[in-house]
Amino acid sequence: MSYDNYIKWLNEKLLPNLPERSIIVLDNASYHNTRAEKMPTSATNKADMQQWLRDKGIAFERNLLKLELYDIIKKHKDQHITYKIDDFIKSKGFDVIRLPPYHPELNAIENIWGINIDQNTTNMETLINESLNKVTSETWYKTCTHVEKIEKEYLKYFDVDFEFVIDLQNDSDDSESEFENYVSDSD
């Protein structure tokens, strides 16, 4: 997978099939992390460092050495990182949530990939579609519930009080009532 292939897949397959106001959860795959803007490095020339700081509205003294400018940049760099894919998805009217690095257990789809996925790459798209069709709503529900359990365990270590609410609204009354029945039956 590459950034260009991922954009093509988003445009042709995913985004046209999502309801409005959907949220796309991204993990840390390299094709999700192509930066929208090149960040200054210690090798960046002084004038470009100064311009980056000005563009970001970060105060600095004009007489600072390049090394001192770079120290300021390092302190502010993380809050100014943007990704091409996030900008692209947002331009299409969707929101993005990024999973923390090195935590695939918080990504429900990681548990789904292992279900009946054949490693033969000859006809990968057909194999993926066949495999995904084997994932039932019950399997997906249990997988998401498992991820929520892990999240709650992690949150014990933080002094925060918040709750994620995922609204599974659907235009069809039938599918809403089916989901509500499933949830109440499984409780």
Whether 32 and 20 have beta carbons less than 8 Å apart is answered as no
CA dist list (Å): 99 to 3, 96, 103, 141, 152: 18, 10, 7, 19, 15
| Model pLDDT for residues 132-157, shown as the tens digit of each residue | 788 888 888 888 888 888 888 888 77
How far apart CA 124 and CA 130 sit, in angstroms, is 10
* Whole-angstrom Cα Rg for the chain: 22
Whether 94 and 22 have beta carbons less than 8 Å apart is answered as yes
| Model pLDDT for residues 37-80, shown as the tens digit of each residue | 999 999 999 999 999 999 999 999 999 999 999 999 999 999 99
This prediction's pTM = 0.55
